[in-house]
Structure 1
Amino acid sequence: MSYRMILNETSYFGAGSISNLVDEVKKRSFKKALVVTDKDLIKFNVATKVTSLLDQNGLMYQIFDEVMPNPTIGIVQKGVDIFKQSGADYLIAIGGGSPQDTAKAIGIIINNPEFADVRSLEGVAPTKKPSVPIIAIPTTAGTAAEVTINYVITDEEKKRKFVCVDPHDIPVVAIVDSEMMASMPASLKAATGVDALTHAIEGYITKGAWELSDMFHLKAIEVISRSLRDSVKGVAKGVEDMALGQYIAGMGFSNVGLGLVHGMAHPLGAFYGTPHGVANAVLLPHIMAYNAEFTADKYRNIAKAMGVKGTEAMSTQAARQAAVEAVKQLNKDVGIPATLKEIGVKKEDIAALAQAAFADVCTGGNPRDTNIKEIEELYLSVYH
């Protein structure tokens, strides 16, 4: 059996690590950046922390701030056009998963123009050239897009999200600075934090998991579980630890895949614009319970990493239940909604949601094989 591990080239961590941006730009002889971000990050002066550094050092850039949550094919194509017009030779992605994913798609298409329709990037696309260089600066502690080979785009016309998996899209530099995340509202910290936990748990139990990825995922579960509550409260140490925990999770799941939580969450974003972290967080404990019998003794390790005491003495069944309950309690403590109805899901859409979830690329990695009928039943079980 052969296993593959791909990580980004250079990463910086810790409060204030954004200061490394200028040296990285200069030593790589980059000339002009297209800064990919969203209007809120401009409005609330989060992106300014980056552009001010560029200004102070005479580094050229142009801003593309039209990224929306759940970025669409149209947004990507607009970004490609602006990159071509700008004279830029690299990208700086500032934001959560949406700006990061948009930058990846732009960078890939610029150097692989045969994929300009965007849809052809779905799955494992046979691109030939690496993306335009990307410097990724996350502002949320959740997606770990700065270290993954994945990105997700929404096809508005067909009401579906599609996952792109491409080693050519990984950023060359990641700057994981908790000060860039400090201004996130508590609700966003909660949702993106449980998104990161979902990455860690699904990556740990997915069919492709192996010893090295397990190491990353268990450590990520530990760090996230001990830090998320403090992060949501605004405790600086909690924010900094969450920034690290979500990155560690990304190192793992990017290389082994995910599962049914993501498969069922993606259609919610496509149908309703549901924030990805919220969708994952609501679904996670329910899908964990569904998968429990197909995970050997791994839930015991999850429970232990989440701080549950006495796991060694528990039966396998009790340990599995303890892991599920620990996730439920964390969700409750950080204010995650309990049902799909609370986040705007319509009961009459569930059949279509189930079909889309079954077709999602992430679903194939689930430890338990599933079908459309069972997915429909799962959606209904989480509805109320």
Structure 2
Amino acid sequence: MPEENYDFMMPNVNFFGPGVVKKVGERAKMLNMKKVLIVTDTFLRDLDNGPVKQAESSLLKADIAYVIFSGVEPNPKIRNVKEGKKAYIDNHCDSIITIGGGSAHDCGKGIGIVLSNGDDLPALAGIETLENPLPPLMAINTTAGTASEITRHTVITNEKTHLKFVVVSWRNVPLVSFNDPLLMLDIPTALTAATGMDALTHCVESYVSVNRNPITDAQAIQGIKLISKYLRRAVANGHDVEARTNMAYASILAGMAFNNADLGYVHAMAHQLGGQYDAPHGVCCAVLMPTVEKWNIISNPERFSDIAELLGENIAGLSVMEAADKSVEAMIRISEDVGIPTNIKSLGALPEDFDKMAENALKDGNAFSNPRIGNKEDIINLYQQAYKA
């Protein structure tokens, strides 16, 4: 049963809507930022009138100095964090602004962590391991999926071991987040699909999590409704402002839900898949979700019946178990519609790696809130099923 007492975490201030990126400078000034390290990637750095250029303009108007670190890679690595820390120190920065999707936000959080809590990032993996606050941090989001701009999760890949690890702490939550759907119009179709499916996974796992509560339920429910209605549209036409706006809301709602209800085996397993093969996180989640959630159904079929209906399935006249099975069919259908691969074999997965991946998945911070308790053999079997799907 969910805990009767719980806390609820998100940034102190959150800006939503077209054009809110213009408020970055004034908010940075209110936080007394003097020299900002902008953390982003080379694509966004060079994009004409893109989010980085717009943030720069806003900072200049507020008379705030900045330097750009554009060394963020997909699935950010420890080396990216170390390079970012060096840029921060060498340029005498006092604050961080992340611009991008989950990779930029996670890298920026990672930089903040090592600046104040020591260089050994892997040793800090786990829940509430941080003793010291990060430098002042704001996050400008450009994708509708990870919601890292509002969460306490920092996901980093150890490039030497190919292991993804998560540092979960209230200290990681940015002070201010910005979600401007106009910054999302030029996102490639494949990224739109992957991040959208990541948001759906957040909603589903939050809704069935053992740590759920009435507040996170409301957020997950609304998030699923919006994704069911607007993800296909956003993939079909990236300049559909209504679809982009509603997917941004869905992502935020999903982030608020899982930031407080936590996730489950889909994310615990996806982290190993993404770390081992450097595969896109949202795709890893989307490919694993039907297999894992079908296995999870017996833990709470009523909740999965709800999910089926929220995803547009007609469950009239069906038993609870029949309706619950429809939720998995709906997950597969939306995934196929937006062009997600059907199995993990297509991502380069190798069966000989499943033993190690399963062992590490059970250690992942997300594993402990899954509604059905499994062992190593169960997780290996789930990887094998997803491989053959």
Q: Could you say which TM-score interval applies, normalised by the shorter chain?
A: over 0.9
Residue in structure 2 matched with residue 121 of structure 1 by the alignment: 124
Q: Structure 2 length as normaliser, TM-score? A: 0.94
Q: Which runs of 5+ in 1 are unaligned?
A: none
Out of 311-320 and 145-154, give the one that drifted further.
311-320
Residue in structure 1 matched with residue 363 of structure 2 by the alignment: 359
Residue in structure 2 matched with residue 108 of structure 1 by the alignment: 113
Distance apart, 1:371 and its partner CA: 1.2
Provide the rounded CA distance (Å) in 1 between the counterparts of 2:366 and 2:32: 38
Distance apart, 1:170 and its partner CA: 0.5
Residue in structure 1 matched with residue 101 of structure 2 by the alignment: 96
1:250-269 correspondence runs (5 A): 250-269=255-274
- Paired residue type of 1:8: P
Whether 1:292 aligns to 2:297 is: yes
1:99-248 correspondence runs (5 A): 99-112=104-117, 115-233=118-236, 234=238, 235-248=240-253
Out of 300-309 and 287-296, give the one that drifted further.
300-309
Provide the rounded CA distance (Å) in 1 between the counterparts of 2:365 and 2:161: 16
| Aligned positions, number | 381
Residues 18-76 of structure 1 deviation map (CA, whole Å, 9 limit, x = unaligned): 11112212222211110000112123343222223323443210011111111122221
Whether 1:44 aligns to 2:44 is: no
Provide the rounded CA distance (Å) in 1 between the counterparts of 2:166 and 2:333: 30
Answer whether contact 2:153 2:169 (CA < 8 A) is retained: yes
Residue in structure 1 matched with residue 12 of structure 2 by the alignment: 9
Residue in structure 2 matched with residue 321 of structure 1 by the alignment: 325
Q: Structure 1 length as normaliser, TM-score? A: 0.95
SS state of the match for residue 142, structure 1?
coil
SS state of the match for residue 37, structure 2?
strand
Whether 1:86 aligns to 2:88 is: no
Out of 324-333 and 35-44, give the one that drifted further.
35-44
- Paired residue type of 1:179: L
Answer whether contact 2:129 2:167 (CA < 8 A) is retained: no
Distance apart, 1:341 and its partner CA: 1.3
Distance apart, 1:239 and its partner CA: 0.8
Provide the rounded CA distance (Å) in 1 between the counterparts of 2:99 and 2:253: 19
Superposed CA RMSD: 1.5
Residue in structure 2 matched with residue 330 of structure 1 by the alignment: 334
Distance apart, 1:275 and its partner CA: 0.8
Answer whether contact 2:22 2:54 (CA < 8 A) is retained: no
- Paired residue type of 2:319: S
SS state of the match for residue 149, structure 2?
helix
SS state of the match for residue 6, structure 1?
coil
Provide the rounded CA distance (Å) in 2 between the counterparts of 1:138 and 1:197: 17
SS state of the match for residue 131, structure 2?
coil
Distance apart, 1:135 and its partner CA: 1.1
Query: Runs of 4 or more off by more than 4 Å in structure 1?
Result: none
Identity of aligned residues (%): 36
Residues 118-148 of structure 1 deviation map (CA, whole Å, 9 limit, x = unaligned): 1222002432332111110111111101111
Provide the rounded CA distance (Å) in 1 between the counterparts of 2:10 and 2:365: 21
Answer whether contact 2:304 2:327 (CA < 8 A) is retained: yes
Residues 232-265 of structure 1 deviation map (CA, whole Å, 9 limit, x = unaligned): 1222111111111111111111112110101110
Distance apart, 1:295 and its partner CA: 1.6
Q: Which runs of 5+ in 2 are unaligned?
A: none
Whether 1:378 aligns to 2:382 is: yes
Indicate how the Cα distance of structure 1 residues 61 and 241 shifts in structure 2: closer, same or farther if over 3 A, else same: same
